[in-house]
């Protein structure tokens, strides 16, 4: 995909860094690194609202800015496009933003499907071949959410102590003094929870350990059925 000079970016400086690539009024060209043809190709990221506008702007003959030799003057053209984008009203930008939003949603669905259809080994091979990491959809948070939503997931269990701590919070066992800020409240809760845990007998602690052992066995068995866990 063509790298674009965004509004406000100095065109000559950007050009010197290789921001602008080969361009013609009829096509956007890009050079791709040769990779193993047997590897699946991740879907391309969607165009932004400005990118959609830029493509339309530069392919319009009336906006053509050329050098004396007849070639497109890309730095000047990019600056003109950026200025035009900054001056159009929000109502006119909405169509580009709507299309960009639609493209983003389609891309996210396509990328999620692609990610789930590839194994960790394949994703590593893609990284080694291209230098680009195939990241989980939605980042780490999105990845963890996708795991939680998978069919049959029993849920990763809390350790005995954290299960006990959650029980205290849910039952509002530990009173919190007034006048504390949020951080102080958390520290107070953690300190008092630790004291209560130490006061438990081994038999009382064993109840939480047994529950954890059973839940962990279910989690481990399910995790073995997942290629990326």
The CATH homologous superfamily to which domain 11-148 belongs is: High mobility group box domain (1.10.30.10)
Alpha-carbon span 54 to 4, nearest angstrom: 8
Residue in the structure block whose two tokens are 């169509």: 95
Please, which residues have CB within 8 angstroms of residue 120's CB and are 6 or more apart in sequence? Answer: 227, 228
SS (H, E, C) 166-206: HHHHHCCCCCCCCCCCHHHHHHHHHHHHHHHHHHCCHHHHH
pLDDT given at position 105: 94
DSSP letters spanning 115-164: HHHS-HHHHHHHHHHHS---PPTTHHHHHHHHHHTSTT---PPPPHHHHH
Q: Report the range of poorest mean pLDDT among 81-95, 140-154, 202-216.
A: 140-154
Q: Give 207 or 142, the one with higher predicted confidence.
A: 207
Mean pLDDT to the nearest integer, 60-88: 91
Q: Which residue has the tokens 């630790």?
A: 194
Tell me the domain boundaries of the chain. 11-148, 160-223
Q: What is the pTM of this model?
A: 0.50
**Token pair for 136:** 């989980």
Separation of alpha carbons 64 and 82, rounded Å: 14
pLDDT of residue 70: 86
Q: Is the confidence at residue 168, as pLDDT, over 90?
A: yes
DSSP string of 22-81, one letter each residue: -EETTEE--------TTSPPPPPPPPPHHHHHHHHHHTSGGG--B-TTSSB-HHHHHHHH
pLDDT per residue over 21-69, tens digit each? 444 433 333 344 556 788 999 999 999 999 999 999 988 988 889 899 9
């Amino acid at each position: 995909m063509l790298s674009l000079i965004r509004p406000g970016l100095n065109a000559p400086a950007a050009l010197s860094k290789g921001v602008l690539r080969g361009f013609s009024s009829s096509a956007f060209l890009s050079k791709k690194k040769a990779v193993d043809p047997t590897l699946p190709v991740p879907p391309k990221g969607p165009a932004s609202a400005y990118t959609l506008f830029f493509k339309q702007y530069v392919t319009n003959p009336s906006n053509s800015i050329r050098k004396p030799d007849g070639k497109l003057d890309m730095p000047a053209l990019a600056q003109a496009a950026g200025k035009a984008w900054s001056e159009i009203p929000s109502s006119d930008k909405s169509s580009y933003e709507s299309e960009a939003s639609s493209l983003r949603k389609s891309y996210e669905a396509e990328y999620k499907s692609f990610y789930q259809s590839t194994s960790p080994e394949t994703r590593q091979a893609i990284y080694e071949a291209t230098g680009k990491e195939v990241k989980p959809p939605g980042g780490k948070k999105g990845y963890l959410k996708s795991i939680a939503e998978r069919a049959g997931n029993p849920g990763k269990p809390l350790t005995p102590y954290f299960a006990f701590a959650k029980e205290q919070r849910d039952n509002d066992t530990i009173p919190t003094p007034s006048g504390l800020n949020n951080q102080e409240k958390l520290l107070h809760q953690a300190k008092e929870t630790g004291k209560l845990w130490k006061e438990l007998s081994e038999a009382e602690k064993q109840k939480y350990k047994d529950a954890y052992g059973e839940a962990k066995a279910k989690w481990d068995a399910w995790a073995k059925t997942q290629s990326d866990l």
